[in-house]
C-alpha cells in the first residue's frame, strides 16, 4: 500500500469527484492520503473530507503565499482545528520567495512560519514545509526553531547537499512528479542520496503531474509512477520503495 503524503483533494477542481478520486487511488494501491491545506477555509475542508473516509487524513495550516494576506487572528482558528482526531500534521507552511518579493511581505511569511512551528510543537504534530527559492532562509528558520515532532520537506526541490542538512535537522524528504521528468537532474540526485528511513512519496495533486501525464490534472492514483521512477534510480524494486516509504509515513504520523 502506498501513502500519498501531500495532496490537495480540498482543491475546488475535485469538488464533484471526491469519491471517484479516493476510489481510483485505492485501485492503484494508494490507500493512505494526507490532504494538505493552505488557509483556514481549506483546512476545514480537508477535515470534512477526511472524516468521510478511512485512512484519509488532514493537515491544517497557512501557506506562506497566503500568509501575506491573512490576519494573525486566523492562527487562533487554526489552533482549534489541531485537536481534531483526523489532523495528523500542520501544513503547509514555510517560505516562498518566488511569488513573494517584497521584504515586508517576506517578513510576514517568516512570522507565520515561526508561529506555526510553535503551534505544531505545542500540539505535537509534524510540519509540512513548502520551500521555494528560499533554501537558506528556510534552513535557518528550521535550525533555530526545530520542529520537535519532525516534518517533511514537501516536493523537495533543493540540492542533494541541502537535503542531507535538512535530514540532519530531523526532516524527511518527500519527492513527487518532478522525479519522473525526463530532464530533471536534481530530484533524481536527491532520490539517490536520501536514506531509506527518510524518503516519502507525494503527488502534490492537482499540481506537478508525473510523466507521461504532464499537462493533465494530477491525482493520488499517480503515486506508483513516482515510486517506479525512484525504484529505477535506486536500483531496487517498486515493492521495496512502496514498503519503506509507507512505513516512514506511518512512523512520522504515528499511525
Ligand atoms: Zn502543496
CA of 36 to the centre of ligand 1 (A): 7
pLDDT of residue 247: 98
What are the grid coordinates assigned to 206, written together?
492537482
What's the rounded mean pLDDT across residues 138-145? 98
pLDDT of residue 61: 98
DSSP letter at 72 equals T
- Residue 37 main-chain phi, psi, to 5 deg: -100, 165
Domain architecture of the chain: domains with CATH: 2-253 (3.20.20.140)
CA of 236 to the centre of ligand 1 (A): 28
Digit-coded pLDDT (tens) for 60-77: 999 999 999 999 999 999
pLDDT of residue 220: 98
Residues 6+ apart with CB under 8 A from 27: 221
- The full DSSP string for 197-255 is GGEEE---BTSSPPTTSTTSPP-GGGHHHHHHHHHHHHTS-HHHHHHHHHHHHHHHHT-
CA of 137 to the centre of ligand 1 (A): 19
Digit-coded pLDDT (tens) for 155-182: 999 999 999 999 999 999 999 999 999 8
pLDDT of residue 246: 98
- Whether the ω angle into residue 158 lies within 30 degrees of 0, i.e. cis, is no
pLDDT of residue 73: 95
pLDDT of residue 59: 98
pLDDT of residue 251: 98
pLDDT of residue 120: 98
Cβ distance 72 to 43 under 8 Å? no
Sheet holding 127-132, edge to edge: 2-7, 30-36, 56-60, 87-96, 127-132, 151-153, 171-175, 199-201
Digit-coded pLDDT (tens) for 195-211: 999 999 999 999 999 99
What's the rounded mean pLDDT across residues 122-149? 97
Cβ distance 174 to 153 under 8 Å? yes
CA of 154 to the centre of ligand 1 (A): 7
pLDDT of residue 194: 97
CA of 6 to the centre of ligand 1 (A): 6
Digit-coded pLDDT (tens) for 236-247: 999 999 999 999
Digit-coded pLDDT (tens) for 209-222: 999 999 999 999 99
Instruction: Using a pLDDT cut of 90, give the percent of the chain over it.
Output: 99
Rounded CA separation 252/246 (Å): 10
Amino acid at each position: 500500500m502506498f501513502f500519498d503524503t501531500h495532496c490537495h483533494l480540498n482543491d475546488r477542481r475535485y469538488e464533484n469527484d471526491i469519491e471517484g478520486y479516493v476510489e481510483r487511488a485505492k485501485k492503484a494501491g494508494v490507500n493512505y492520503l494526507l490532504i494538505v491545506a493552505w488557509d483556514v477555509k481549506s483546512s476545514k475542508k480537508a477535515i470534512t473530507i477526511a472524516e468521510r473516509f478511512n485512512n484519509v487524513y488532514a493537515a491544517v495550516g497557512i501557506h506562506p503565499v497566503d500568509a501575506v494576506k491573512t490576519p494573525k487572528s486566523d492562527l487562533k482558528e487554526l489552533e482549534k482545528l489541531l485537536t481534531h482526531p483526523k489532523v495528523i500534521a500542520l501544513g503547509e507552511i514555510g517560505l516562498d520567495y518566488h511569488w513573494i518579493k517584497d521584504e515586508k511581505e517576506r517578513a510576514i511569511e517568516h512570522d507565520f512560519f515561526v508561529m506555526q512551528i510553535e503551534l505544531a510543537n505545542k500540539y505535537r504534530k509534524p510540519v509540512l514545509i513548502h520551500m521555494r527559492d528560499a533554501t537558506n532562509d528556510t534552513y535557518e528558520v528550521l535550525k533555530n526553531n526545530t520542529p520537535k515532532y519532525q516534518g517533511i520537506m514537501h516536493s523537495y526541490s533543493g540540492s542533494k547537499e541541502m537535503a542531507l542538512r535538512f535530514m540532519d535537522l530531523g526532516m524527511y524528504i518527500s519527492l513527487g512528479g518532478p522525479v519522473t521528468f525526463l530532464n530533471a537532474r536534481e530530484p533524481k540526485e536527491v532520490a539517490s542520496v536520501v536514506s531509506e528511513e527518510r524518503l516519502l512519496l507525494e503527488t502534490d495533486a492537482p499540481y506537478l503531474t508525473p510523466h507521461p501525464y504532464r499537462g493533465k490534472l494530477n491525482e493520488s492514483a499517480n503515486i506508483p509512477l513516482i515510486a517506479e521512477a525512484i525504484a529505477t534510480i535506486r536500483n531496487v524494486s517498486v515493492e521495496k520503495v512502496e514498503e519503506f516509504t509507507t512505513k516512514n509515513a506511518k512512523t512520522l504520523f504515528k499511525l
